[in-house]
Amino acid sequence: MKFWDSSAVVPCCVIEPRSHLIKEILQDDQEMIVWWATRIECLSALFRLVREGVLHDREEEMAQVVLQKLAETWREILPTQMVRETAERLLAVHPLHTADALQLSAALIGAGKNPRGHLFVCLDKGLRVPARKEGFTLLPADL
């Protein structure tokens, strides 16, 4: 299982410094597993890039097409009571923002609450440390 954080999905949709590395990881993945709000988080990132002048309208449109194609094939961890309770525990033991706690909680639920041997694809340094401490193997391995 490879759980994909939103920080790793966005470079699949737009050209960023680590896009090549992330796309290599994606090629080796049979099924992307993501949190229910991943599409919304990715759209937020794309619109922010447009507002900042990093992406132009046409690039943003193309990025949305890629995001839609990914969303048609990935498996989402839905918002459940178990996700909420796990996120609450994570907030108590790790310095996480709410969205990151929900992401990591969804990954744990996707791994059957046993993250050993499961992969967590993430570029967010603030989320990588808690994910590693919870027992996930991180991709990319070296950031």
Q: Structural domain boundaries of the chain?
A: 2-139
Q: What are phi and psi of 121, to 5 degrees?
A: -95, 115
What pLDDT sits at residue 1?
A: 79
What pTM value is reported for the model? 0.94
CATH hierarchy code of domain 2-139: 3.40.50.1010
pLDDT at residue 78, rounded to an integer: 98
pLDDT at res. 56: 95
Helix (H, G, I), strand (E, B) or coil at 75: strand
- Band of pLDDT at residue 31, cut at 50, 70 and 90: confident
Per-residue pLDDT at 92 exceeds 90: yes
pLDDT value of position 85? 98
Cite the DSSP H helix spans in 30-113: 38-51, 57-73, 81-93, 98-110
